[in-house]
Chains A and B, each alone.
Chain A
Amino acid sequence: MSTYKNFTVETDADGIALVTWDMPEKSMNVFTMEVMDEIDAIVDATVADAAVKGVVFTSGKSSFSGGADLTMIKSLFSMLAEEQARDPEAAMKKLFDAAGRMSWLWRKVETNGKPWVSAINGTCMGGAFELSLACHGRVAANSKSVKIALPEVKVGIFPGAGGTQRVPRLANAQDALQMMTTGSSLTAQRAKAMGLVHQVVEPAELVNAAKQMIKDGLKPVAPWDEKGFKVPGGGVWTPAAAQLFPAAPAILRRESAGNYPGALAILKCVYEGLQLPIDTALKVEQRYFTEILRTTEAFSMIRSLFVSMQELGKGARRPTGQPKTEFKKVGVVGAGFMGASIAYVTAAAGIPVVLIDRDQEAADKGKAVSEKLVADSVGKGRLTKDEGEKLLSLITPTPDYATLADATLVVEAVFEDRTVKKAVIEQVEAVISDATIFASNTSTLPITGLAENSKRPEKFIGVHFFSPVEKMMLTEVILGEKSGDRALAMALDYVAAIKKTPIVVNDTRGFFVNRCVFRYIHEAYDMLIEGVPPAMIENAAKMAGMPVGPLSLNDEVAIDLSQKILKATVADLGPQAVDERHLALINKLVDELDRRGRKNGKGFYEYPAKPAKKYLWPELKTLYPQKKAADVDVTTLKQRFLATIALEAARTMEEGIVTDPREADVGSILGFGFAPYTGGTLSYIDGMGVKAFVALCEKLAADYGEHFAPTPLLKDMAAKGETFYGRFDPYAKGREAA
């Protein structure tokens, strides 16, 4: 038998070929064109070899496979764009064939005539699980590391290599839809209970058990290729399905406002496919898959949520020539809620932490936050008791600054006050070594100004966390004027160590995320003042794809904090820097009505005792004369929210605050959940075209105020027909170097 680059094939005395997938120079197996070609060749070879009775397919890595290399799909997009210019119809056919390549290869495996068993030893995602579904037997290791999922919907596409057909032919339709429309992971046990794997065995027994299935006479025929096959639950025209299919799109609307064409396509594939024989069903799936690949949503989501996120996580912005940091100890100064949570995520990454506050009691109180988080995780089975204890043992609460002497990094998270911070900077710098980097977790104070308190501003940097720290995936790394490469490299190494995604931002008031968030909230103030019914404001925002309505969000961050920020802006920049109507609204809410947000149970919403749900404060409608719902255009409301945020993101690019469009996109999705189907703030603009965006902004500026006026950069880009990813090409540097 021939040799392969990504596979080894060993046939044993029983005639069972063990195909082990182990890609060189990769930590995880992924599908590339080459991998698919080799699998194709393996099928041909094993079919041709009379000595081979069956095939066991497994992985040589700790995981099985992460699925398709989505950069492969990204290259499809450029292929399509080029071909389309030449011959649109041929381009479409080419895309259709490319979209079906994997699906028909799996079908070839399924119908090759010899039994195949997939031995799932670890994480098995997307196309890899679809290959397993086309195998005649599936055995999974009884291990926590086995995570089975079809997560394609999370990047704007869907399981297009037979997933939408084989899952609901094995599991009931409701479980199948749930699995695919949420992309959530299954344990080996859950997969077995759903009927998606045949056996769960101890990891050491995995390959043997898979071989045994073949020795026991596993039939090389899928159930749906047998005569008389019946879909579990009886198919589409049953009372159970009559409950499921009307509700399924309603639930998509509830969960994601129906903004994801990929998710809806899953429902269509299952509904149509279950009424067809498998080959026709796979063709229908291929048609929908081709359609979805052509959507702006798929293009933008794959770029931001897969490619860019991965690149930023791997340190795309890390300066070259800086040695990788090993974190022996991290100091966290300030054991309030933020500091305490930062200590937790640091310890969770296995790094020893000293958590410092003014006295032992305050420091202990900070550690108690971790104790509660650990107890919750242990309770939910996410951590074992031992792991939890080990995590807590890494956190040392103390009032003693001297313990910072050997810290690699110190994160300051004290009260947002220049004087308080100045004192902490001085106290810390008095004890730390020359190599230690000082990071401030400020959310409102510019880093350059804070760094003036430092004797070593090149080793001073901002690391801005978001609350709740243990859940929010994003961290903003803020460069002060004098922050040096070492500080940046270490900050990025630290963010990577705690498994968060960094964006690197130059110093400005509000940095990137908060600047955008306040645009969002201020647009809602405008709408309230115009008399748009409050529920319409909140619903329009959610329909636009925002995870939380702006008024609800303002209640969470606290209305008096908004007041404080508005007042600080007036103090620093003068009264013209804020909208006086906004200030009047907020002053009324806070000063007259004591409505400060969720924290005092009174904000834009009312917060009745649980289990009752919060509801909009009814009197809100009395503050301004109300418009009739019929006179308010919801599409315009949605556009205003997305456009005002996207414009702010464009301004940060124009000002040089953010320099890489990937960061504005990923930062906006991870930082405040900016309509993920758009691919982020700048992809939203690129997706509709800068020219169309400028036209939209001009219209909105005429109707709703100058804050929508397109900036000189945007006008210039529109005139030249540029995109953000073209003008600020994040890969240009790499190409120059190459």
Chain B
Amino acid sequence: MTEVFIYDHVRTPRGRGKKDGSLHEVPSVRLAAKTLEALRDRNGLDTSTVDDIIMGCVDPVMDAGAVIPKAAAFEAGYSTKAPGMQISRFCASGLDAINFAAGKIAQGADDIVIAGGVESMSRVGMGMSGGSWYMDPSVNFPAYFMPQGVSADLIATKYGFTRDDVDAYAVESQKRAGAAWEAGYFKNSVIPVKDQNGLIILDRDEHMRPTTDMQSLASLNASFQMPGEMGGFEAVGIQAHPEIEKINYVHHAGNSSGIVDGAAAVLIGSKAGGESMGIKPRARIRAFANIGSDPALMLTGPVDVTEKLLKRSGMKLSDIDLFELNEAFAAVVLRYMQAFEIPHDKINVNGGAIAMGHPLGATGAMILGTVLDELERRNLNTALVTLCIGAGMGTATIIERV
């Protein structure tokens, strides 16, 4: 099989995903186009050689609809020879786009692929593409459908994380993200979003609150008690995990991922593809895997998929230098650390989505880029990137520097 290499990656800053967010004025397709432009310009890419552009987008409707990567290629001025495809596996879409691209390259179908994702949550909104998973009683009943926040609280209850535990994790995420920005760890990858006149619209993650402390979080009310109790979802959780008498509601806006706008793209290729582009690979995609997991806990898929991936790749936990797990909710990461006894200083070392936000379809590509930068900065070798996924799934990828 052909080896698959990562040559470059960029991301936009993450704008607050509300009407007053800085990126709200930027159409979804333009966010995606900015990343395509940057990869082309940074690498002198002949876009007629791009075999595919694969982008994750969870709600590909309205201005994100109709195969947004192909649309973005037009806006970015790419050669009409570059095709595009949009995929969704909910929150892991950005990473799955990369894995999909890697699969095509490994199989020998493609040599150069851009993979990433985009989500303008302020413009499109969550759940706007509808879906039988949560709407159709023939599906949502057997799927033990619950709002993700209730699932996160179910995880906290089942695995014994208190409000203090999740809040402390959130405070640390903010602190790490703030310090990483301060130290310029993201500067090579974050491309400022500029208008057509070159004026900056946004050049840093605007969801962050690095000064967050336990006291400020303590003032926030749990967000998911109401749907849990009034909407009947607590009963769903308990019937799936009947050893639980009552859900302990601990998650709120401050220890859950932020709703933001953003896009990311990773330049992937075979050795031959790199040679034709005339650039050096930065890392190899060593292995990847997907799995379905307990649908009620919904967000514990990273544990299951990590076990599967290590087994399939013949690797051990100790082979992994850094872990990057999307901070959908604090309890998701705490459970992962608990399950594998991973010390906090090896995971999400520069903060995560609690601080910087989670632009659904883009996040997987963003955090892969973040950990690759960090491997280089620390001169380490191997990282495992994983995300929890709606409906109970997990995606994980192992990369190693070359």
A interface residues, Cβ below 8 angstroms from B: 236-237, 241-242, 245-255, 257-258, 264, 267-268, 271-272, 533-536, 538-540, 543, 615-616, 629, 632, 634
A-B contact count (CB 8 A): 88
CB within 8 Å of A: which of B115-171? 127, 130, 134-138, 140-141, 145-147
Q: Is the CB of A254 within 8 A of B235?
A: yes
Q: Is the CB of A249 within 8 A of B137?
A: yes
Contacts A245-B135, A253-B232 aside, 4 further interface pairs with beta carbons under 8 A come to A250-B232, A271-B136, A535-B243, A615-B246
Q: State whether A250 touches B246 (Cβ < 8 A).
A: no
The 6 listed contacts between A and B (C-beta, < 8 Å) are A242-B134, A253-B239, A264-B137, A271-B137, A539-B244, A634-B242
Is B238 interfacial (CB-CB < 8 Å)?
Answer: yes
Question: A249-B140, A253-B232 given as contacts; is B134 within 8 A of A540 (CB)?
Answer: no
Assess the A267–B137 pair: CB atoms within 8 A: yes
Nearest CB of chain A from residue B124's CB, rounded to whole Å: 14
Is there a chain A Cβ closer than 8 Å to B312's Cβ?
no
User: Do A535 and B245 contact each other (CB < 8 Å), given the known contacts A267-B137, A268-B137?
Assistant: yes
Contact B127 A242 (CB under 8 A): yes
Q: Is B241's CB within 8 Å of the partner chain A?
A: yes
Q: Do B134 and A245 touch across chains, with their CB atoms under 8 A apart?
A: yes
From B138, B147, B243, contact of A629 by CB (8 A): B243
Residue of B nearest to A537 (CB): B242
- Mark out the residues of chain B between 204 and 234 whose CB falls within 8 Å of any chain A CB in the assembled complex: 227, 231-234
**Bound Cα distance from A249 to B240, whole angstroms:** 14
User: Which residue on chain A has the smallest CB distance to residue B229?
Assistant: A254
A536:B140 contact, CB within 8 angstroms:
no
Within the complex, the shortest CB–CB distance from A184 to chain B, in Å, comes to 17
Which of B147, B243, B245 has the most chain A CB atoms inside 10 A of its CB? B243
A498 smallest CB distance to B (angstroms) = 36
B135 touching A254 by the CB < 8 A rule? no
- Interface of A: prevailing SS: helix
Asked if B289 is at the interface of the complex by the 8 Å CB criterion, the answer is: no
* Closest chain B CB from A248 CB (angstroms): 7
A88 nearest CB across to chain B (Å): 24
Chain B residues with CB under 8 Å of A250's CB are 145-146, 231-233, 235-236
* Across-interface contacts of B227 in A (CB, < 8 A): 247
Classify the secondary structure of B's interface with A.
loop
In whole Å, how far is A528's beta carbon from the nearest beta carbon of chain B?
A: 14
The distance from the CB of A621 to the nearest CB of chain B, in whole angstroms, is 11
Q: Are A264 and B141 closer than 8 Å at their CB atoms? A: yes
A251 touches B135 (CB 8 A): no
Please tell me if the beta carbons of B243 and A257 are within 8 angstroms of each other in the complex. no
Q: Which of B127, B231, B242 has the most CB of A within 10 A?
A: B242
Chain B CB within 10 A, most for which of A249, A533, A536, A629: A249
Residues of chain A within 8 A (CB-CB) of B244 are: 535, 539
Q: Give bound CA distance, A271 to B233, whole Å.
A: 19
Residue of A nearest to B146 (CB): A250
Is the beta-carbon distance between B238 and A539 smaller than 8 angstroms? Answer: yes
CB < 8 Å neighbour of B135 from A271, A533, A534, A632: A271
Q: Are A249 and B145 in contact, CB atoms less than 8 angstroms apart?
A: yes
Q: When the two chains form their complex, are residues A543 and B137 in contact, meaning their CB atoms are under 8 A apart?
A: no
Q: Is the CB of A246 within 8 A of B245?
A: no
Contacts of A534 in B (CB 8 A): 245
Q: List B contacts of A246 (CB < 8 A).
A: 134-135, 140, 145, 147, 231
**Chain A residue at smallest Cβ distance from B234:** A254
Q: CA of A538 to CA of B243 in the docked complex: distance in angstroms?
A: 9
Chain B residues lying within 8 Å of A253, measured Cβ to Cβ, are 141, 232, 235-236, 239
Sort A-B residue pairs by CB-CB distance and give the 10 closest, nearest first. A250-B232, A254-B235, A629-B243, A539-B242, A267-B137, A535-B245, A251-B232, A254-B232, A249-B141, A247-B231
Asked if B141 and A258 make an inter-chain contact with CB atoms under 8 angstroms apart, the answer reads: yes
Q: Which residue of chain A is the closest to B147 with respect to CB atoms?
A: A246
List B contacts of A267 (CB < 8 A): 137, 141
Tell me which residues across on chain B come within 8 A of A237, comparing CB atoms: 130
In Å, the complex CA distance between A533 and B246 comes to: 13
CB pair B231 A251 closer than 8 Å: yes
Which residues of chain B are within 8 angstroms of A252 by Cβ–Cβ distance?
Answer: 141, 232
How many whole Å from B279's CB to the nearest CB in chain A? Answer: 46
Cβ contacts B342-375/A at 8 Å (1 or 0 each) = 0000000000000000000000000000000000
Known A-B contacts A245-B135, A250-B235, A250-B236; A535 and B140 likewise in contact (beta carbons under 8 Å): no
Query: In the bound complex, how far is the Cα of B244 from the Cα of A533, in angstroms?
Result: 9
Give chain A nearest CB distance to B327 CB in angstroms: 24
- Tell me the minimal C-beta distance from B79 to chain A in angstroms: 38
CB distance from B234 to the nearest CB of A (A): 8
Question: What CA separation (Å) do A627 and B17 show in the bound complex?
Answer: 45
Residues of A within 8 A of B245 (CB): 534-535, 538-539, 615-616
A residues near B138, Cβ cutoff 8 Å: 268
Bound CA–CA A268/B233 (angstroms): 19
| Assembly CA distance A308 to B234 (angstroms) | 36
Taking a contact as CB atoms closer than 8 A, the residue among B136, B234, B239, B246 that contacts A543 in the complex is B239
CA distance A236 to B231 in the complex (A): 18
